[in-house]
Amino acid sequence: MTASLEADFVIIGSGSAGSAMAYRLSEDGKHSVIVIEYGGSDFGPLIQMPSALSIPMNMARYDWGFSTEPEPHLGGRMLVTPRGKVLGGSSSINGMVYVRGHARDFDHWAEEGAAGWSYADVLPYFKRMEHSHGGEEGWRGTDGPLHIKRGPRLNPLYAAFADAGRQAGFELTDDYNGSKQEGFGPMEQTIHHGRRWSAANAYLRPALKRRNVSLVNGFARRIVIENQRAVGVEIVTRKQIQVVKARREVIIAASSINSPKLLMLSGIGPAAHLREHGIEVVADRPGVGQNLQDHMELYIQQEATQPITLYSVLNPFSKALIGARWLLFKSGLGATNHFEAAAFVRSKPGVDYPDIQYHFLPAAIRYDGKSAAKSHGFQAHVGPMRSKSRGAITLRSPDPWEKPQIRFNYMSHPDDWADFRHCIRLTREIFGQAAFDPFRGEEISPGSHVQSDEQLDDFIREHAESAFHPCGTCRMGRADDPKSVVDPECRVIGVDGLRVADSSIFPRITNGNLNGPSIMTGEKAADHILGRTPLAPSNQEPWINPRWQASDR
C-alpha cells in the first residue's frame, strides 16, 4: 500500500453535493481537498447536449447499472436505478430539471429532528447557489455558480397545457421555485449556453483550477477508521489498493445507493446485518440503508391531431440536423431537455401544499428513448410526491465490487394506489379541457377503455416507473434518535471525522426533482464542515393556497 495521497478533506463522489462541497471547502485557499471519483470524463456531446439526455443514463460507461430486486407490488418487475458514474455524478445523466422542493418539505425535515434545515434556513443556500435567468425577483439567487433558465416554449402544446390547467380551475405560477410552487407554469432547466449545466460544469471545473483541489480516479472500498475516527479512504486505483488520507475529515457524497453501502462496508450500520456478512461493527446504526424513498410516475399519452410534435424529428435525418446545429451553434432542439412546462397541484382538500407533479412533453415517447408512439402525440409524466412506501439498501456480500440489494417496496402502501388512480383521472380531466380541443386525438396510454379501479391498478402495476429520485438512506435527525445516521451537521453519529452529505440524508423526499436540494445540501454542509456560522435565516413567507382546506384547486 502506498499512502502518498493526503488532504485536509477527502470527498467521495463528484456528484451534485460532492462538487458543491469541493468548490466551497477550497474557496478561501486555506484547505486542501481531494475528490475521489470512480467514473470517467463527462466530455462529449452525449452528456453535454441536453436533448441527448436519455442516452448516457442507459450507458454502462456513465451509469453504475443498478436495478432493484423484483418489486413484489409491481408484479415482480425489476426496475432500473440509474446513478451517475462520471464527473458530475447523476447531474451529468439526469433530466436537467431544476426544482428546489416546497417550503413545507424543509419545515418537515426540521420537525423530524433536522434542526437548522427548515425552509427559512435553506432558502439562503438556494439563493447562494443559483444564477437564475428569469426567476421571481427577491426569491432567487442571481450570481451563484448554478445557471438555471426556462425553455423557449415555442411549441403551442406547452401553452395549451398551462391553459388547460387554468381551465380546470388550478392556479398558475410564473416561478414554482419562487414564492409560489402551486400551479401550472414554465419548467426550469439546468442548461446554460445550450449545454447541460451539471454540478461538474458549475462547481467542479472551477474548483479544480485551484491549486488546493485535486481529483483522484479510484473505486472507494471502505472508510479507514482508527479509534472511532475516520482517517482516510481505501481505494482501488490502477489495480492497486491505496489509502487516501484525510487530515481533518472524510465526507461521503456517493449517492443514496452507494453512501449507505460504503458505511456498511466500513462497519457502520445495523449490527446484525453487518455480522451476517462478517463485517466488524464500528458503530451500530440501524438506520443505515433504511428509509429508502423515491418518486414514481406514469406517462399519460394522447395522440395529436396536428403534426406539431417532436414525432416529426425522430427520424435519423432530422436527428442529424439537430445534432449538427447543436454542435455548431449550441442552439435549436438539441439545446433543450424538452421539459418546458410543469405543474404542482394538490390532490384533495385538506392537503396544504402540492403532492402531485407534472412534467409535460410535446411527444409521446419513453424516458429511455424507446418505444415512441407511432404517431404525433403528447404526454404528461405524473406521479404522487409523498408516497408512504419505504424500502432499504442492504449488502449482498462483504465484497465492495458487488452491487447492493435495492428494494424500494414501491406501492406497498394502499394509499399509493388511490393516489395514482387520482393522478390518471386528473390528467384525463386536464387533457379534456378546451385548450387541447385543437390538438387532442385518441388516448394512447392507458387507453380510453381503461376506466375501473381494477383496470387502472393493472395499468399502474405494469407501467409505473421510477422518476429516479432515490433518497433517505442515511437519514439526518437528532443525535439521540436511533434511526438517525447523521446529525443536523451531517456528522455520522458514533464516528468522528466522518460526514455524509448528499440526497441520502434527506429525512423525507422533497417535491420534484432532487438535483437542486442535493446541491443545496452540499452548499450548506460545507459551512458546517468549516465550522462557519450558517447563513442568516430568511423571513420570506411562501404562498400557501388560502382554499387548501376547502378545495384541491
Q: Is 318 annotated as a binding residue?
A: no
Q: Is 34 annotated as a binding residue?
A: yes
CA 410 vs. chain centroid, Å, equals: 17
Q: Is 100 annotated as a binding residue?
A: no
> Which backbone phi and psi does 431 adopt, to 5 degrees?
-65, -20
DSSP helix/strand/coil, 56: helix
Q: Is 14 annotated as a binding residue?
A: yes
Cell of 391: 424500502
Q: Is 16 annotated as a binding residue?
A: yes
Q: Is 275 annotated as a binding residue?
A: no
Q: Is 26 annotated as a binding residue?
A: yes
Measured between alpha carbons, how far is residue 177 from residues 17, 130, 171, 188, 223 in Å? 19, 11, 15, 9, 37
Q: Is 8 annotated as a binding residue?
A: yes
Q: Is 288 annotated as a binding residue?
A: no
Q: Is 96 annotated as a binding residue?
A: yes
C-beta separation of 365 from 380 below 8 A: no
Q: Is 239 annotated as a binding residue?
A: no
Angle subtended at Cα 506 by Cα 502 and Cα 508, rounded to the nearest 5 degrees: 155
Q: % helix / strand / coil in the chain, to the nearest 5?
A: 30, 25, 45
What is d(CA 33, CA 292) in angstroms, rounded to the nearest whole number? 30
User: How many C-beta atoms surround the C-beta of residue 25 within 10 A?
Assistant: 29
C-beta separation of 169 from 181 below 8 A: no
C-beta separation of 356 from 384 below 8 A: yes
Size of the chain, expressed as the number of residues it contains: 553
Q: Is 36 annotated as a binding residue?
A: yes
Q: Is 11 annotated as a binding residue?
A: yes
Q: Is 78 annotated as a binding residue?
A: no
Across the chain, how many H-helices and E-strands are there?
A: 13, 25
> Which backbone phi and psi does 9 adopt, to 5 degrees?
-120, 135
* Gap between the terminal Cα atoms of the chain: 63
Q: Is 18 annotated as a binding residue?
A: yes
Instruction: From the candidates 108, 131, 295, 469, give the one annotated as an active-site residue.
Output: 469
Q: Is 13 annotated as a binding residue?
A: yes
Q: Is 144 annotated as a binding residue?
A: no
Q: Is 138 annotated as a binding residue?
A: no
Nearest to 404 by CA among 264, 266, 269, 296: 264
Q: Is 169 annotated as a binding residue?
A: no
Q: Is 460 annotated as a binding residue?
A: no
C-beta separation of 144 from 203 below 8 A: no
| Residue 469 falls in the annotated catalytic set | yes
Amino acid at 195: R
Nearest to 184 by CA among 168, 173, 199: 173
Q: Is 9 annotated as a binding residue?
A: yes
DSSP helix/strand/coil, 58: helix
Q: Is 90 annotated as a binding residue?
A: no
What is d(CA 291, CA 499) in angstroms, rounded to the nearest whole number? 18
C-beta separation of 9 from 34 below 8 A: yes
Q: Is 28 annotated as a binding residue?
A: yes
Nearest to 357 by CA among 136, 509, 137, 245: 509
Annotated binding site for FAD: 8-37, 86, 94-97
Which residues form the catalytic set? 469
Annotated binding site: 8-37, 86, 94-97
